[in-house]
Amino acid sequence: MSEISPPTNPLSQAPLHGRIVRGAAWVLAAGLSARLFGAINTIVVARLLVPDDIGLVAVAIITMQLLQGVSDIGVSQAVVKFRNAGRDDLNTLFTLSALRGLIIGAALAAAAPLMAAFYHDPRMAGVFLGVAAFPVIAGLINPKFFEFERDLKFSREFIATVLNKLVGVGVSITVAVIFRTYWAIILGLIAGGVAQLVLSYVMQPFAPRLSFKSFRKVFGFSSWLAGVSFVAALNNKLDTPIVARAVSTEGAGAYFMGFQLSELATGQIATPVTRAIYPGLAAMQDDAARMRRAFLRGVEALGVFAMPAAFGFAFVAEDMITVVLGEKWRAAVPVIQILAPVIGLQSLFTATQAYAVALGLTRLVFMRELAFFIVKLPVFIWAVLAYGFMGAVWAAAATGLFHVALNLALYARAGGGRFWAPLWSARRSIAAVGAMAGYFLFLRDMIAPPPEAGALVRLVADIAAGAAIYVSALAGLWRLEGAPDGVERRLFGLLVRRGADRAGD
């Protein structure tokens, strides 16, 4: 039987900033790899199956994801938080996770005949029973595996992600090619889950037991995270169904696509940065001042990279939609133009929840999500009923700004810092985004290629001009401040080293 190794703090053995940067790079690589394999799987399977097959399975998978979202107990976050986690802690986390998986699986299985009757399709029963196996498998994953995340060893996560995706995609495509059945999607999902389960024990050996010895400790941390996941799932999942019911399914599709694309610009940057920051913050939980400085450095990095991507996407949305999705999706353009800047501003505070959780203040995170839900839901419903599709878009934008205020309040309450400190940390990137916005609002029509040049030409020209103006403004503001230590200095140093290396070659 494997024993728990004495807790160490490898974060103290190397500069934290460098480990966070490398960790973010590995998380980004894992995410891109997963999306690449997912895209290949979707394209191949979609060509071999009919839309009815995919729609059939989608109902069950979305139901499963909703149940997982409203019952998440934050196993990985708990492992990262409890830096001295012993066997009792890991056994308790395993037990709670296994029970959660069994309950979700049982709920899906129980719903199988009901869903078959509701959709008047007997195939739905088998689909729900098949999908029910996945949460049961996922609930048995080795909690000790998440120590890799705690120690910022995200390269191990990259390996596991690539391998389980290869297995899942391989099974899915093979079954689709041979049998041309929707079971290809279900069996691929299950195969990927089994691969992830096996890898979690092979890469980090541990033999968990059923135990509740650390229930009070774990529940005190995870219960609030479960509440956060429940309310956050409601906040994130209800918009589109409300639009579909109050406006139309076509409007819901445009709203959903616009919202997803608005988040895409920041998600690929903010998510890996935040995941890499959290273990570092947890490692400094006994040094509040150092932890606060690290969090503000993270805000600075998110401001430099994530925020301009979202704002820039808003300014090129019309041509981007035309080139990538086609004219039939033009209804999504105002969604992106209005929501992307708000999401860009929100990206500054992506790590705020990680900051509060690292401090053990999960109750405050729950209260933030609850306050957002209490305000957002009635405002959104009223706006949709009163003003239709655009009412939904503007309501989402207004409540998004309210969420920014809630995050600022959470930061001030959690770390004792000044309310406006995160905005001040991102001051140069905010000003540089303002310069870019000024170009698009006042100068673009005089300089950009004419409409007859084509959407692709205008898109390329706009991206190049926006990037050049943003980078120039950011560098100029940094110089005006006396070239202080920060993201810009590290980027400049990296460019200098790359130039020296190439000159040496």
Q: Which of 170, 197, 231 is the last residue in one of the domains?
A: 231
488, part of any domain: no
493, part of any domain: no
497, part of any domain: no
Flag whether pLDDT at 8 surpasses 80.
Answer: no
pLDDT the model gives residue 13? 42
Flag whether pLDDT at 15 surpasses 80.
Answer: no
Rounded Cα distance between 243 and 209, Å, is 46
**Are 442 and 394 part of one and the same domain?**
yes
503, part of any domain: no
- CB–CB of 11/280 below 8 Å? yes
pLDDT the model gives residue 399? 95
**Are 180 and 137 part of one and the same domain?**
yes
Across 74-83, 161-170, 226-235, 254-263, which has the greatest mean pLDDT? 161-170
pLDDT the model gives residue 17? 52
**Given pLDDT bands bounded at 50, 70 and 90, which one contains residue 272?**
low
Q: Tell me the chain's radius of gyration from C-alpha atoms.
A: 24
Between residues 495 and 361, the one the model is more confident about: 361
**Are 212 and 264 part of one and the same domain?**
no
Average pLDDT over residues 371-392: 94
Q: In which element (H, E) is residue 360 found?
A: none
- Rounded to 5 degrees, φ, ψ at 181 are -130, 155
Cα 162 from chain centroid (whole Å): 18
- In degrees, to the nearest 5, what angle opens at C-alpha 225 toward C-alphas 404 and 190? 110
Residue type (1 letter), 256: F
**Are 126 and 149 part of one and the same domain?**
yes
**Are 381 and 287 part of one and the same domain?**
yes
Burial class (CB in 10 A: 0-12, 13-18, 19+), 390: middle
Flag whether pLDDT at 108 surpasses 70.
Answer: yes
**Are 278 and 201 part of one and the same domain?**
no
**Are 373 and 420 part of one and the same domain?**
yes
Rounded Cα distance between 176 and 402, Å, is 46
Domain of residue 140: give its range.
1-231
505, part of any domain: no
**Are 187 and 276 part of one and the same domain?**
no
Q: What is the rounded average pLDDT for all residues in the chain? A: 81
* Count of domains for the chain: 2
**Are 242 and 300 part of one and the same domain?**
yes
Residue type (1 letter), 233: A
Rounded Cα distance between 63 and 108, Å, is 8
Flag whether pLDDT at 151 surpasses 90.
Answer: no
491, part of any domain: no
492, part of any domain: no
**Helices marked H in 119-153:** 123-131, 133-138, 147-150
pLDDT the model gives residue 463? 93
- CB–CB of 49/182 below 8 Å? yes
61, part of any domain: yes
Tens digits of residue pLDDT in 363-376? 888 889 899 999 99
pLDDT the model gives residue 14? 45
Average pLDDT over residues 439-448: 87
**Are 303 and 380 part of one and the same domain?**
yes
**Are 406 and 369 part of one and the same domain?**
yes
**Given pLDDT bands bounded at 50, 70 and 90, which one contains residue 177?**
very high
Rounded Cα distance between 223 and 225, Å, is 5
Q: Which residues contact 16 (CB under 8 A, 6 or more apart)?
A: 280, 283, 284, 294
**Are 336 and 423 part of one and the same domain?**
yes
Q: Which of 206, 231, 256 is the last residue in one of the domains?
A: 231
Tens digits of residue pLDDT in 280-314? 666 666 677 788 887 888 888 888 888 898 999 99
pLDDT the model gives residue 269? 65
Q: Which of 214, 231, 248 is the last residue in one of the domains?
A: 231
pTM: 0.68
